Structure 1
């Protein structure tokens, strides 16, 4: 383990990042199952929740913008937007910059729904590691962000 603050050589870094991937997969699957269980009472899917979340955090946007923000296909996002619209959680509005690509925004019901979901999830996340520092979380975000950026080209293949 290199705690000196100096960058790891590429092979050592690759081994350490593999440890991160080994944790991220199970973490994601467990979190998704937990989210699904919490959403079942609201009658929402994880995909609709993702659309609501990206709109809550990023504001009104197009389906392609949401797909890029979540690194998922435009077609999947469109299906989730259609499901959310059927539940009156989102609505399409004209896009002055592009006639064929409407903007999607939260309805009042959608905003209330996602705010309630995020509040419940926040209560659960308060129980995570009381000894974690802001620096720990900042470092985690930096590492995961770098790993994600390194994989951006994978979707282009």
Structure 2
């Protein structure tokens, strides 16, 4: 029986319920990653390159590889390889970093903006067909829960 009341859950009930979310997120993430990789030849974006482009678009600013790696919670070496791939495809450009001579800034090019927006548009259209009569409040609550979970995991990881 699912309790849909608005009362805060005590820790002994909250833990198992949040574990259910993790159990759904893992397979969901892996399936989405497979779809992105499957569509990669069409879009030119691997999962890694896409993550870099999406992060740059989200931040709205050029970032150094170490900044990108921290934000994406990925190794600097992996992010550097993805930046190199994106650079080869003309999705990003390197700019001088006034704060650090040896760590250039990675910036989206117009082609990079167009590529990430195109992929996102296709995804947004597909996600719009999810169904379930989801409300704005339910989506907002889901995001709130996931952000709390992320914050808690970050605290445990210190």
User: Normalising to structure 2: TM-score of the pair?
Assistant: 0.91
Cα distance change on mapping 1:14 and 1:54 into 2, 3 Å = same
Q: How far apart in 2 are the matches of 1:74 and 1:5?
A: 42
| Deviation at residue 132 of structure 1 after TM alignment | 0.5
Counterpart of 1:152? 154
Counterpart of 2:109? 107
| Deviation at residue 143 of structure 1 after TM alignment | 0.7
User: Normalising to structure 1: TM-score of the pair?
Assistant: 0.91
Counterpart of 2:55? 54
Structure 2: unaligned runs, 5 residues or longer? none
Q: How far apart in 1 are the matches of 2:112 and 2:59?
A: 14
Contact residue 2 and residue 8 of structure 1 kept, 8 A: no
- Counterparts of 1:4-153 in structure 2, within 5 Å, are 4-59=5-60, 60-129=62-131, 131-153=133-155
Q: How far apart in 2 are the matches of 1:100 and 1:35?
A: 33
1:99-138 residue CA offsets vs partner (Å, 9 max, x unmatched) = 2221110111111111111111111111112510111011
How many corresponding residue pairs? Answer: 156
Q: Per the alignment, in what secondary structure is the counterpart of residue 112 of structure 1?
A: helix
Superposition RMSD on alpha carbons, in Å?
Answer: 1.6
| Deviation at residue 155 of structure 1 after TM alignment | 4.6
Q: Per the alignment, in what secondary structure is the counterpart of residue 5 of structure 1?
A: coil
| Deviation at residue 32 of structure 1 after TM alignment | 1.0
Q: How far apart in 1 are the matches of 2:156 and 2:89?
A: 34
